[in-house]
Structure 1
Amino acid sequence: MIVRTRRDTRFFLLAGIATSALGCAVPAAAQDAVTAGQSPEADGQTARDGADDVILVTGSIRGSLINATEAKRRAINVVDVATADSVGRFPDVTTADALARLPGVAVQLDQGQARYIQVRGAPNRWTSVSIDGLPQTGVDEGGSERAYRFDAVPAVLLQQLVVNKSLTPDITAEAITALVDLQTFSPLDDARPGFGAAGDLGYGFMSLGDGEQRQASLRVSWTDDTIGIALGGSHYRRDQVTDNREADYDAAGAPIDIDIRNYELQRENNGLFGAFEVRASEDLRLFARGFYTEFTDRELRNAYEIELADAGAVGTRGALTGSLDNVSITTNFNDGRYANENIILATGFDYANPDGLTVSGQFGYTRTENTTDLPLVQSSIGGISVDYDRSADPRFPVVDLFRTVPAQTGFARGERLDAIPIDEQDALRTILIPIVQGVVSDAYSGRLDLAKEWDRFTFSAGLYATAREIEGNNIGIGGIVPLATIGFDPNAYATTRPWETQFPVGVGIDYVDNVALNADLQAGLAAAGIDPADFVLPSSLYAQEERIYAGYVMGRYEDGPLLVNAGVRLEQYEIDNAGTVLAGGGAVPLETAQDFLDIFPSVNLRYEASDNLVLRLGGQRGVSRPAYAAIRVGASISDTGATIAGGNPFLTPEYTWGLDASAEYYFSTNGIASVGVFNRWVEDVLYQSQQVVGSDLYDSGGIDRSGYLLGSSFNGESGSLYGVEFNIQTQFDFLPGALSGFGVQGNLTLLGGDFEAVDAATGQLATFQFQGLSDTVFNASLFYEYAGLSARVAYQRRSDFLDTLGGFGAGEFRDGFENLDITLRYALNANFTLFADLANLTDETYVAFQGTPATPSEVERIGERYLFGIRFNF
């Protein structure tokens, strides 16, 4: 094993000098929430519910706590809120990190970085997203998920994050467990007229691999009584090493292969934001907003797959130990790039007169582009003997390698190898596997809302429409390129630079020069006239047009402590679907169309039982629509095997009825203690399986394929998801002197649920687990703020969950994981604050397994993260 890190020296050095300069915005102002009730604004400014209610803001943890709890209290529906200041007081790089601090919210990670969120243990597709009230849809991973990709949105661009856990008719029904509204900065709501600037600059390092970590952001604004202008930008980058081990197993639990991987990553988030607002009169405000975000991930892959189950291998292969001769090692190298870009533009108006009439309108354009380019170079090293031992810890198999030499009877062992001989690859068998994927979504959306208030009753109505075009492909490999034909030799890129790893290996491994390898590869392909994009499987391509037309009516009645809000939303959903079917050696274009007209009623009751106690009850109907790649018509047909692999254009949406109830106790000075319960009864649950086609859609050339087996996504039967949420957050300001700076925030969510579907193996109904369901999600933090010092220790934990739903409902499970973070802030004066963010201090190991933890399929670690810097606010 080789461990190379200087983290102790650098930690104390950087902690001692915590740098200065320019940067980001912990924004100090806010905007109106788009929940059914008016949520108070983010920390640092005045917020309103109606014309006269004012929330005290102090610009501290306590002020942030007051804002968030007051927003929750005044909301019509069940919500949780994170303000901009609370985001800034955690080491949260992405919006997913920030949302994970809220009750019932867990994250899905990609190489240690939060990407998706799962609310209340549900599949991530059951949580929808809007930005300033306009719905957004994700197209990540070739459109295989509608889930919104939160690692593409820097947290510092936002003002407030509102998680709507129960729905009202004025927000989209496409949210089974939650709608997350990401709210941007409104300059006219800034409590400080004139010029303002806020920013930060930070620098640090990653403990594994010793790579740098840096961030910077800046927001400037100017406002008077009539005009407000704001411009902002952010940058975050980290150079990361990911330790990775993977394996596959046979039915007896013995490894088929041992995959030793190491990734050198450069991940970067950038964002730009702008807002222009005009108060045209006392009643009318006009606005235009826009922001651009990009996430890029450059991945240098080094992977060695020891093929234990090679046909020519001889020896013993047991579950924990084995000794084999004449195995091969498959090598995989690439200089890959992933990218996600978002352009979001919106313009509109807000009108409110003294007679209780309000009208608002908004029109927006969103472009989302997701691309993957992985030129994977694969070769092999032959004539290897291997001993492996998994008995100490099945997550970390230790291998010893030897040369295999011919013997009179079979094989014998030659010299022991100190390192994998990466300069002995078979150049004649080296191939390129071109993995090229891309999806582009262009959407135009608009909404018009009006409301009229009469004493205790308020009537609301509105219209919404969106038109979206989606073009792209999921990952489908239509061929390989033998690289010997262009004279490419992978052995030329071997180096003597040892791996940065904390995992036991048993044998030394050096890096290859991935950058030079890919540069020469691309030059060779260009000279030979070979375009990797030509190897995209035609059946993976799709082109779709999606249209949603919606209208709602809603009434709100208030009588003393009681508020009742009820209404109905009508949605017409249409999708045109085009793709290509590969059958009989030819490509056949195919088109289908679907439309659904649905009614979504909802009701929310809020009862203020006392000055401190608020009771809530909510009921709703919601929907989750299939992902674009899942519903594509593209497919590959095998007439000899009578099978079809591809999308499933027959999928229908998942529908749900939901119930929420909660009791919220608000402390007299600040904070809240609450308990909530919920249930979602879901119909037509989506899962992966293999079923008879049952239609003539794929018939061509006189061949009846209605009885073929289609491997794809399908609608199952019904299921239910349920749980209870406990939440407490308060500062102990009743204590004397310096002790009043202590406070706590914590939440615990206990979850359960399953669904029924046909088991393809038996043809009978069976019970399956929901993807992403952890039965326990826990967050806790202890904070202290007094006399300029702000400190917080935050802990997160989620239990095991199913990550991918396999063909028979069994798939890859993720072991539970935890994270411990520490944030430190010290205010030098009213304008400058030093900070230190120490993240992943548990140095967590992330594990996936097949069936049981005894057969881990993936093991990853990225190490701790340290970031130091300075913030300013004028």
Structure 2
Amino acid sequence: MMKRNVLALALASGLCFTAGIQATPVDAGAPAGGPAAAPGTSNDQATPAPAQSTSTDQSANKDDKSKQTQDQQLAKSLATITVSGYNQSMEKSIDYQRYADTIQNVITSADIGGLPDQSIADALTRLPGVSAERIAGQASQINIRGLSGNFIQTTLDGREQPSTSGSNYIQFDQYPSELINMATVYKSSQASLITGGVGGTIALETADPLQAPKEQNLNVDARGSYDGTAHDVPGANALGYRLSAAYQGKFLDNTLGIGLGVAQMYQPHVAEQFVGEASDGSSYKINSSPNSPSAYLPEGIQLQQNGGEERRTGEIATIVWKPTNELKITGDGFYSKFTNDSFGYGLRSQNFYGNNTQITNPVYSSLGTLIGGTVASNPATGIDPRTGSAYSNQFSNETTADNYSTNTSVFSGGLNLKWDHDRWHIDADLSLSRASSNEINVDTTADPYSGLGTANPQLMPQSVTYQLRGSNIGTAQFGNPGLYTNLNDMALSRYGVYPYIYHDKMKAFRTSVKYDMLNSSWLSALEAGIYMNNHNYAADREAYVYGSEWNTSPVAGEPPLTIPASDASVTCWKGKFSGFPCFLTLNGPGILAAHGITANPVKDINANSWTYIQSGTVDEKTRDLFFMADLDAQVFGHELTGNAGIRVSHQSQYSSGLQQVGNGAGIPITDGNGYTSYDYAPLTVGKTYTDYLPSLNLIYHLTDDDQVRFSAARVLSRPPIDKMLAGAGSWVSNPGVGAQYNVWGGTSPLLDPLRASQYDLDYEHYFEDSSGAVTAGVFFKDVKSFVQDVTYNNYDFAAAGITVPINPATGQPYINGEYQTAYNAQGGLVKGLELSGSKTHFLPGIWSGLGVDANFALTDSTVRNPTNLGGPTTYVGLPGLSKRVASAAVFYDYGPFSARLSGNYRSSFLSDTQIAVTNQLVTFAAETVYDFQASYDITKQLSVVYQMLNLSNQPTRTYFGGNPQQTGTIQYFGRTNYLGINLKL
């Protein structure tokens, strides 16, 4: 007897083919949703499957017939969905959820392809307990049940996906929604799922051309976009477009299927932002007066305009060959390239802390951290009583020109074989997936100088009066604003290029064998399988630096560079930011070229040794084995279904990098500038481990429309791969006989996986004809550890495989000192409640096409993370956890017209995706994002589509230390409007 959800997938696959903007109509001659083929029957025809194969009809008992009737009810339920648009999408999703063995939520092709979102991430946020982090205004990293993307496993057509993020989490804006046929979020686990989903597993699927409704199918979509915020950012383009085309064809009497698809996007990258920078967690005298108070000080504030453009091209190709009714071979490949040409221009008041300024009229937050006042340069001469040293002037209102341009790509492809013979089912898959990311990361600063052109130019005295205003745009006024647009006073102080380059590659093989248990009173099938994955990760850091910030550490032969008029233009603020001081938009490469200089970033072991320390490779090898039994029985007069199994996961993780040993005790290394060092030695460190991961999923069917689910499992996620790099820098303290060897790096190949025990209990009620559902559930996760940074004292380096160099004073290894690394900090509990409800066809007549869909999730955790970015050390929550997440939508389908108004809300949450020099742990403020989408079918082949995304121009707001007074970033991205057409042939 086939397992219920397997049959459901087979049946529904005929329903869910769509790769364009709207669901392709079902061919009247081959109704989608027909019963799945039994062994010996073609899946490509709408022929009803026999109740049992002839070899087993004689021995079928009453329980078997009951089970078959339930499967027929499922087939009938799917086949009776005749509505279109959002109603069809929701009703299909309900059936997938209803008949699944695991607790899961589904988005079908009519929902994704019907009126596609910016990316698949936007579509996923409609599901209960699923939320997204908006990066540069777009939903990117997904959070599930309060856990960040590093706790989420993602597959495409069953293949584990590599990442372009530089860590484990997937950037979902890499995946065009037009090319994804279905997305499933698994919230409970089962033995056959690939490990990695402590938070959940997201399974993306592409279309099977043999399931297309017609012999030949072509969908073409074209739409233009408009973002009015671009008018406030000089050089930005307000217009964009999206183009997609998908072809599906069936040949050779429906035994050969070919699918081709392409989706292209061009859109402006525009934003305006006000930034309050972080504290270093130290208290300083705010000025040099004898009675000066001490306070926690931020590094500074920023005003910046972001512009540029984003281009994404996604391509997919699939060929399916089914030479017999039992054998099916599929070869397919997915490729996506995303180019984000992003620049940032503006002003940055820098270096408030470190006794570098004089602060008057201070305003403090409730944490005692400066959030307003007048900040001015130190006096030009004299002794600073705070330090006992001569005054130094390291404060400036810098003019900045940054470049964050990134090129990323993902490829995922492979060969799949499925063989079904009588009771036996074999599935084998061989795949190759790879991802790459290259961010250029340019930081250009210019400052006002006196004595430009002389041998000793001096930074001019300056001041700024500012005030943070919590979640609103703050204020900033400069003492002499005319300085910053006067080319006679301004000069380029520093030009730095710091590329981040990542490569992520996976070679995998998985296979499973399943045997149907037709005569068992408890079991419907037994299944076993293996999974092997060789995962290779490489991080490369490079650098090029001209000059020094504020020219406070002058480099010989690298004075401040005068700015040609052709490489600067005066820019003034508009809109919400009008009133801030005007500034110069700088062409950094042009300024260097005017002085005969070309930037050439390379690995630099002399001035920027971190480029070697933060580079390296990580090699993971996964070897998994699983066993699973599918359950189908009668208990106390009601049906009990589900599965029970165990997955045995063996992992090997090793990293190769460079360790700074000093004293010339390393090997000769010549960097890209020709400098040779003998202070670094290669090292390879790692570990192996094996986990036993049992799982149980039970569904108790109270009535035909009511059921209760219980799930329990042990699960794990691999440590963030960038935190497993082996490279480390070092320093020696207490020189002499008692000298100590200390290591810094913040990473460790010895991290344990993030293990958890999890439990779920759900109640589900389904309305007649799949017209809606009401569900309520609770979940509980006991996460054993989280990865955090730590400093160990008197660390035993030798025991960890880290070489300790010889102390020349003693002829023996240095004494063990500090080790700044990553470790598995104590975990905690994550628990929550999820409610959802949906209904269609609850009104008569013309309003019968009205539908509603809403969900709410309440999540809490005992985990607290320390942070001093807001000043004094405070404790904030678990990254990715919003206590409240909700979404609601009202949609309407009537004849040729479809429309949807939706809103997604999430309360404040913690994340480390805000980047300064390194990633910062900040709190994202609560937000609600509204979208509107509508379409009208002019003919059966041609329709027009309109969308407005982010209706209320909801900004992204962050703050430090869990204190909303301590502004992090306030960033406005604007509304995006789309208007276009869809052609179906």
TM-score over 0.5 for the alignment?
A: yes
Match 2:477 to one of 383, 397, 400: 400
Q: Does 1:167 align with 2:186?
A: no
Partner of 2:87: 62
Q: Does 1:214 align with 2:241?
A: yes
Greater displacement, 676-685 / 637-646: 637-646
Partner of 1:578: 656
Contact 1:442-1:470 at 8 Å conserved across structures:
yes
Q: 1:288, CA displacement in angstroms? A: 0.4
Match 1:848 to one of 945, 958, 962: 958
Q: Quick one: structure 1 residues 710 and 379, their matched pair in 2 at CA, closer, same or farther if it must change by over 3 Å?
A: farther
Q: 1:237, CA displacement in angstroms? A: 1.6
State the distance in 1 between where 2:929 and 2:867 align: 37
Q: Quick one: structure 1 residues 548 and 87, their matched pair in 2 at CA, closer, same or farther if it must change by over 3 Å?
A: same
Partner of 2:620: 546
Contact 2:648-2:692 at 8 Å conserved across structures:
yes
State the distance in 2 between where 1:267 and 1:246 align: 23
Partner of 2:979: 868
Q: Quick one: structure 1 residues 774 and 531, their matched pair in 2 at CA, closer, same or farther if it must change by over 3 Å?
A: closer
Q: Quick one: structure 1 residues 848 and 522, their matched pair in 2 at CA, closer, same or farther if it must change by over 3 Å?
A: farther
Contact 1:127-1:180 at 8 Å conserved across structures:
yes
Q: 1:262, CA displacement in angstroms? A: 1.2
User: Residues 234-273 of structure 1 correspond to what in structure 2 (within 5 A)?
Assistant: 234-248=263-277, 252=295, 255-273=298-316
Match 1:599 to one of 684, 692, 700: 692
Partner of 2:171: 149
Give ranges in structure 1 of 5+ residues lacking alignment.
Answer: 1-31, 404-416
Contact 1:398-1:506 at 8 Å conserved across structures:
no
Partner of 1:359: 426
Q: Secondary structure at the match of 1:293?
A: strand
Number of corresponding residues? 815
1:467-506 deviation line (CA, Å, top 9, x unaligned) = 1222223x57586556974995445455445356433353
User: Residues 85-104 of structure 1 correspond to what in structure 2 (within 5 A)?
Assistant: 85-90=110-115, 92-104=117-129
Identity value in percent: 19
Q: Secondary structure at the match of 1:708?
A: strand
Partner of 1:664: 764
Contact 1:233-1:273 at 8 Å conserved across structures:
yes
Partner of 1:825: 935
User: Residues 128-207 of structure 1 correspond to what in structure 2 (within 5 A)?
Assistant: 128-140=153-165, 143=166, 145-192=167-214, 194-207=215-228
Greater displacement, 777-786 / 501-510: 501-510
User: Residues 395-474 of structure 1 correspond to what in structure 2 (within 5 A)?
Assistant: 395-403=472-480, 417=481, 420-421=484-485, 423=487, 426-427=490-491, 430-455=493-518, 456=520, 457-473=524-540
- Residue type at the aligned position of 1:368: A
Match 2:629 to one of 545, 552, 555: 555
- Residue type at the aligned position of 1:518: P
State the distance in 1 between where 2:682 and 2:100 align: 50
Contact 1:469-1:546 at 8 Å conserved across structures:
yes
Greater displacement, 498-507 / 686-695: 498-507
Match 2:752 to one of 626, 644, 652: 652
1:607-645 deviation line (CA, Å, top 9, x unaligned) = 221111121111111111112220111011122384523
1:807-830 deviation line (CA, Å, top 9, x unaligned) = xx9942111111011111111121
Contact 2:442-2:495 at 8 Å conserved across structures:
yes
1:63-91 deviation line (CA, Å, top 9, x unaligned) = 11121110111111111000122123455
User: Residues 84-123 of structure 1 correspond to what in structure 2 (within 5 A)?
Assistant: 84-90=109-115, 92-123=117-148
Greater displacement, 154-163 / 532-541: 532-541
Give ranges in structure 2 of 5+ residues lacking alignment.
Answer: 18-22, 27-31, 38-48, 50-74, 232-237, 284-294, 364-370, 378-394, 449-458, 549-554, 664-678, 735-741, 808-812
- Residue type at the aligned position of 1:113: Q
Match 1:719 to one of 819, 825, 828: 828
State the distance in 2 between where 1:392 and 1:540 align: 37
Greater displacement, 625-634 / 307-316: 307-316
Q: 1:33, CA displacement in angstroms? A: 8.7
Contact 2:373-2:467 at 8 Å conserved across structures:
no
Q: Does 1:503 align with 2:576?
A: yes
TM-score, reference length from structure 2: 0.78
Q: 1:507, CA displacement in angstroms? A: 3.2
State the distance in 2 between where 1:111 and 1:757 align: 25
1:797-855 deviation line (CA, Å, top 9, x unaligned) = 1111111399xx99421111110111111111211111111011111121111121111
Contact 2:470-2:967 at 8 Å conserved across structures:
no
Q: 1:38, CA displacement in angstroms? A: 6.1
Q: Secondary structure at the match of 2:191?
A: coil
- Residue type at the aligned position of 1:239: P
- Residue type at the aligned position of 1:128: Q
Q: Quick one: structure 1 residues 666 and 99, their matched pair in 2 at CA, closer, same or farther if it must change by over 3 Å?
A: same
Greater displacement, 300-309 / 562-571: 300-309
Q: 1:34, CA displacement in angstroms? A: 8.3
1:550-608 deviation line (CA, Å, top 9, x unaligned) = 11111112125211310111111112210011232711211113111111110101122
Q: 1:653, CA displacement in angstroms? A: 0.8
Q: Secondary structure at the match of 1:208?
A: helix
Partner of 2:805: 701
Contact 1:688-1:805 at 8 Å conserved across structures:
no
- Residue type at the aligned position of 2:630: R
- Residue type at the aligned position of 1:402: G
State the distance in 2 between where 1:865 and 1:100 align: 18
Q: Quick one: structure 1 residues 595 and 312, their matched pair in 2 at CA, closer, same or farther if it must change by over 3 Å?
A: closer
- Residue type at the aligned position of 2:102: N
Partner of 2:388: none
Greater displacement, 313-322 / 599-608: 313-322
- Residue type at the aligned position of 1:678: F
State the distance in 1 between where 2:727 and 2:964 align: 36
Match 2:360 to one of 305, 313, 316: 316
Partner of 1:685: 786
Partner of 1:40: 12
Q: Quick one: structure 1 residues 187 and 394, their matched pair in 2 at CA, closer, same or farther if it must change by over 3 Å?
A: closer
Contact 1:34-1:181 at 8 Å conserved across structures:
no
Greater displacement, 343-352 / 42-51: 42-51
Contact 1:166-1:177 at 8 Å conserved across structures:
no
Partner of 1:3: none
Q: Secondary structure at the match of 2:703?
A: coil
Partner of 1:343: 411
- Residue type at the aligned position of 2:652: E
Q: Secondary structure at the match of 1:448?
A: strand
State the distance in 2 between where 1:89 and 1:489 align: 55
Match 1:74 to one of 99, 103, 114: 99
Q: 1:334, CA displacement in angstroms? A: 3.2
Contact 1:209-1:500 at 8 Å conserved across structures:
no
Match 2:719 to one of 622, 626, 631: 626
- Residue type at the aligned position of 1:781: A
Match 1:567 to one of 628, 633, 645: 645
Q: Secondary structure at the match of 2:499?
A: strand
Q: Secondary structure at the match of 1:272?
A: strand
State the distance in 2 between where 1:873 and 1:213 align: 23
Partner of 1:305: 348
Q: Does 1:859 align with 2:859?
A: no
TM-score, reference length from structure 1: 0.87
Q: Secondary structure at the match of 1:197?
A: strand
Q: Quick one: structure 1 residues 822 and 384, their matched pair in 2 at CA, closer, same or farther if it must change by over 3 Å?
A: farther
- Residue type at the aligned position of 1:871: N
Contact 1:636-1:646 at 8 Å conserved across structures:
no
Partner of 1:378: 445
State the distance in 2 between where 1:775 and 1:76 align: 28
Q: Does 1:590 align with 2:683?
A: yes
